[in-house]
Amino acid sequence: MSFSIGEVAKRLGCNVQTLRYYEQIGLVAPAHRTEGGQRRYGQKDLEHLKFIRHSRELGFSLDSIRTLLRLSRHSDEPCQQADALAREQLHQVRSRIARLQALEAELADMVEQCECNVVANCRVIEVLGNHDLCQHGDHHVGAHAVRD
């Protein structure tokens, strides 16, 4: 019924520092402690943490998760905001896929065209230094939109 931090980490597939970190930044309430000062987690704490980890796996930021957690505690309120956050996340994921597919195309060309001889005629080095050699010119947009 009551779990140590290590047990929780194992169940969630994260490590213990991460759980302490979530407590530290106030994403979850401070865990109950033993007399000796060690954390013990109940079933409800576990559910909250599962929610958080699953959301993280889907790429939501801790900030969005904070909102989603707050929403999940007010089950009588409209869920437009949760819906909007999910749609926004979906949009971001799709953008990242699109960008990564552009990178994939260029990298695949580079690798394929390399004769793997010496650097002087290495297609990889050549293309990196000269963007005009790309077959697919549009991978330069939004260089920072590809995280998680």
Token pair belonging to 78 = 């409209």
- Strands, sheet with 39-41, edge to edge from the N-terminal-most edge strand: 3-4, 39-41, 32-33
Task: For residue 36, state whether it binds DNA (rule: CB under 7 A).
Answer: yes
Task: For residue 46, state whether it binds DNA (rule: CB under 7 A).
Answer: no
Binds DNA by CB under 7 A, chosen from 1, 13, 26, 35: 35
Binding residues for a copy of itself, rule CB under 8 A, total 60
- Find, among 49, 54, 44, the residue nearest to 19 by Cα: 49
Q: Which partner in DNA, a copy of itself, none is near 21 (CB below 5 to 8 A by kind)?
A: DNA
- The 3-state DSSP class for residue 29 equals coil
State how far the Cα of 83 lies from the Cα of 71, in Å rounded to an integer.
11
Per DSSP bridges, beta strands 32-33 and 39-41 are antiparallel
Binds a copy of itself by CB under 8 A, chosen from 62, 83, 135, 137: 83
Task: For residue 92, state whether it binds DNA (rule: CB under 7 A).
Answer: no
Q: Choose the stretch contacting a copy of itself; rule: CB under 8 A; options: 2-10, 19-27, 29-37, 101-109.
A: 101-109
- The 3-state DSSP class for residue 41 equals strand
Which residues would be at the binding site for DNA (CB under 7 A)?
4-7, 9, 14-18, 20-21, 34-39, 56, 61-63, 143-144
